[in-house]
Structures are given as C-alpha cells and as structure tokens.
Structure 1
Amino acid sequence: MKKKLLSLAVASLVCGSVAEARFYVGVEGGYTSASGILDPLKFGESNKINFNTIPASEIKNAFKSMKRNVQNGVLEVDPYKGYSIGVNFGSEHLFLRDYLGFRWGASVGYSNMSGKYISVDNSGDIGAKIEGKYSFLDTGLSLDLMTNFYSSQSFAIGIFGGAELDYHYMLTGKYEHKIWDEEGDMKNQVPSRHSLDLSGRVGITTLIASHHRIDLTAKLPIGSITAGKASNIKLGEPLVRITFSAGYKFVF
C-alpha cells in the first residue's frame, strides 16, 4: 500500500512538472568586455580536441588596462569593450508549485567589440597605436536551474544559474598571437574564425502577469575548446568575454 502511494505521489509530481512546461521566445542585449591579453594558443602536434580552462587573471583583464614589458619599451593594452544582441527560444519546466524548475534555450545573436594597443618606448615616445575591432555571429545552447523566492498565479521572482555552450564565427577583424616557431623565433599566429567556449550563467528573473519574463544575466567564462595544430587550426581560442545583459521573454 505504501509503495502504491509513493508511486502515485511520484507520478503526480512528474505529471505536474510536465503540465507546467511552457514554451518561450525572447530578445536579449547587453554589455560585453573581453581580455586584451591572451595566452598563446594551446595546440599540440596532432588534431586532438583540447579543453582549456580560463584562468582568473584573464577574467580580471577584461575589466582593466594592462601594461606588459616588451623589448625596448612597454605595451599598454586596453580591454575590448562592446555590445551583444540576440534572440532566443526554449521551454521552462516548473514544479513544486512553481518554486523550483529548469529551462533550456537556444540563441542566435551578434556581438561587436573594439580595443587598442599602444607601445611606448623607453624614452616615453609612442611607437605604435593599434585599434582592433571584431564582430561575431554567435549561437548558443543553455541550461538553467531556477528557484523562485515568491510565486503566485500572476507574479514570480527568483534566481537562476546554469551553463552555456557558445559557437562564435568571426565576421570581421582578426587577432594575432605571438608564438615560438621551431627555430626559436617569434612569429604571428592567426587562428581560425571558428571558436567554441563554455560559460557559467547566473541572474535574477521575474515573471509578470504570467507571460512576461524579465531576466538580468551575468555570463562568465569557464573554458574554451581548441582543435588542430599550428599549421591547420580548426577551432581557435575565443576572446575571453564577459557579458552582462537584460532580456525579455514572452512565455506562452
């Protein structure tokens, strides 16, 4: 008898969660920054796929200008700054009287960033000033866990956290890395236009009048995926980007 009651309770919870599955479409936009100093590409001598974690120092570099000693002077590097916009769709699944749930989503968008490098020689004269501008086509898949602090039939407010896998295709611009070649000399390495990265997501969410959801989201880098070798790069390290955005979703 107890087993039947437990099975009935579990079945009711599952049915309830399925009944609360709701499709959504939305728009999102916000501020994006990225580190202006990147480590050399991490490629071996094979076409293996590698996952490279993003160090905390690179994350901090996305918010402040950096100085690096170079031959006969100093290189001053500003972080890349810009914006991102996009559309998204997916479904959210709430249960336990809408206090707990999850959602999945897919997105397509555009991002644009710019930054500059200034070299200063030992006498204080500016040797070169280079401005870099990049634009990307962005696509992503995300999964969030959601918890509401308050929930009623027409209003809810809570927090969410999850992860997002993004593919970026560079539309304009290029970025170069200094690497050591086999002879021990420095040379430029221009990576592929294709990049793939993994980010963590946290934010605040509010549902108004049962259909209008507003999200405030912070997206922080976890790692990047690379593939190929120096002579044949298939997936390059992306700019270490951080995004703060606001979004609106209509929930059906």
Structure 2
Amino acid sequence: MYTNSHVLRADQRSTESRQAVELAVREHKAEIVSLQQALKEQRLKAESLSDTLNDLEKKHAMLEMNARTLQQKLETERELKQRLMDEQGKLQQQMDLQKSHIFRLTQGLQDALDQTDLLKTERTDLEYQLENIQVTLRSLPLRLLLHCEAELYWPGLGGIHYAPNVLKQGRTTWSSPIRNAHFRFLWQNTLKTFLLCSQMNMTQITHTSAIVAGTQLLQLVQFEMLAGTLILRLILRCCSSPTTHRLSILMRKSRWRAPFLSRPN
C-alpha cells in the first residue's frame, strides 16, 4: 500500500511538473513569438528610420550644396554691387563734368551770339558809312567836272562849291560874285533840276534823269544859249551812249544848232 501510494504521488508530481514545464514552454514560446514579432516590427521601423535617415542625409547634403551655391551667388552679387557702385560714382563724376562743360559751352554760345549781334550792328554801321563814302566819292567826279568846265569857260564861276548836304538839297554856295545875274539864275535852276532828277543821292546819273534835265535845258537855252550848251555838254559827258543819243534827238527836234563851245570874250 505504502509503495503504491508513493508511486502514485510521484507520478502525480511528475505529471504536474511535466504540465508545469509544458505550460512554461508554451508561455516561453508565446513570449518568444511575441518578442520575435516585436523584433520584426522594430527591425522594420529601424529600416524605415534608416531610409529616412539616408533621405535626410541626402537632403542635408543637397541643402549644403545649395547653401554653398547661394553663398557663392551672394559673394558674386556683392562684388557686382560694389562694381556697380564704383561705376555709378565714375558716371556721376563724368555727368558732373559734362554738365560743367555744357554750361561753359552755353555761356560761350551766348557770348558768341552777343558778339554776332554786335558785329552785325557794327557791320550795319560800317555799311552805312561806306554807302555815305561811296555817295560822296561818286558825286566827286561830277562836282570836279562842273568846276573844271565852269572855270574853263567862265573864270570865277568855278568858285562854286557844293557840300554834300547842299548838293542833296539842290542849292549852291557862291564863293565869288557873278556879274551876270540872269546866267547865275539859269545855272542854278538847271543844276537844281539835274540833281533832283538824279534822285538827290548823287550816286549815278540815270537815263531818265538826264533826259528830263536835258529837256529843261532845251527850254532854258533860249535865254542863254552859251550857258545851256555848257551844262548840256557836262550832262553828255556823264551819261551813257543811249542817253547821249536821246539828247541829240531832242536837240534836233527843238531845232537847236548850238556851236561847239569856245571860251567867251
């Protein structure tokens, strides 16, 4: 009895131990499976994190490259900005110099315009003076001719002299007395007509003025033929060939046959 009970107890204890071991094994296996599952999950996470880390490293490298590129661009932009500022300073100096040059040119141009106006005024004055001198010089041969012819045929008559303003007004000034008052009247009026018909400027004796003066002479010679012939001869010497021809026709129409002049007794 005692032996059987001990055997039964030992079997029971062995069974319980075996069951406990099996239970522990199953629990350990389950725990191992769960740990393996967790390990697998952690491995997947590690791989994912590794990939993420690689991506981040690549991105970091790219960002570093971009940063270096941007830094180089920044340095280039700074250098370009500095060069532009230097060029701007130079251009500003050149513009200031150009403004100063333009201002001086403007002043010079204004001075030149003022000088031009002054020269134009002086030229006008000189032309006016030259015209007056030419008028005087052109009238000089006529006055000398009148003086010489009158002195040749009537001594003392050549003493008549004419100032330019007196000539333009057709008046005469006598330096010595003339006994023949009628001849003096004829000479004075004929010369006055001759000067007025020459447009009172003594620049030239025109065809028309000579014809008019000659016509009046032909009307006056009936009073003093010798004096009329003298003055007509003076006119013919100062006129052109067509005018002389016209005066000859007038003389023939008036039937005036004046002899060549001779010195009066």
TM-score by length of 2: 0.23
Larger proportion of strand: 1
Q: Which has the larger radius of gyration?
A: 2
- Larger relative contact order (CA 8 Å, sep ≥ 6): 1
TM-score by length of 1: 0.24
